[in-house]
Amino acid sequence: MALALYDLDNTLLAGDSERAWCEFLIDIGVLDGDEFRIENERLYKEYLAGTLNIYDSIKFQLKPLTEYSPDKLQRWQEEFMASRIEPMITPAAVALVEKHRAAGDELAIITASNSFVTRPIAERFRISNLLAIELERLGNRYTGKVLGTPTFREGKVIRLVEWLQETGHTLEGSYFYSDSHNDLPLLQWVENPVVVNPDPILCVFAEAVSWPILDVHGEHPGSLEPQPLLAQR
């Protein structure tokens, strides 16, 4: 039994979950569209460029969670899953998970997005192991603080080491699927790194070291399975 690790945004999902959550809150009138859309796009561009300060992003994402009741958040979360997340889940992404499940592998999602947004998505994929940015709560209200190391860049390696120690799993035969050059620290740590619809920086790196590159999000429309993706030089 091997460990199969998946990044979430732009890997298992054909889009970014936290970015979509912010857009959803703008569309239902919870957030001011002009102010929050500008900041949302700025942070996303910094993430793509590899210059993101993860604590700036966390502060921005957590603000709405601290201001509204758990009941409202749950209702919005359910609507968000149905209207924004379901359309981001492709048959090929599901197949990428089910291949390892059928092999008896241990499945885990490891993502730089927060656990409020991502836990229902992990449940949708029937993956019980989620390593995400964990949020502090007092009672059932979010405080706006983060628990432990954020699962971003080298932080993914740190959190995974902690999880391996807690669970007794090892990296023997391990896989990690990701689209982002921000995940290079973890991609270089597992035995079987696999690149999924990569960003340009990761694409160049993956080609140079001959990592597998898969299409899960639409270069082959209608495909029910991940397909090899020829990287563009």
Q: Which residues are catalytic?
A: 7, 9
Q: What is the distance between the alpha carbons of residues 28 and 11, in angstroms, rounded to a whole number?
A: 27
The helix (H) or strand (E) run that includes residue 37 is helix 33-49
The amino acid at residue 20 is: A
| 70: phi then psi, degrees, rounded to nearest 5 | -55, -35
Q: DSSP letter at 51?
A: -
The answer to whether 54 touches 112, Cβ cutoff 8 Å, is: yes
Return the exposure string of 194-220: e unless at least 16 CB atoms fall within 10 Å of the residue's CB, then b.
bbbbbbeebbebbbeeebebbbbbeee
The answer to whether the beta carbons of residues 17 and 8 sit under 8 Å apart is yes
- Spatial CA neighbour of 179 closest among 44, 55, 6, 4: 6
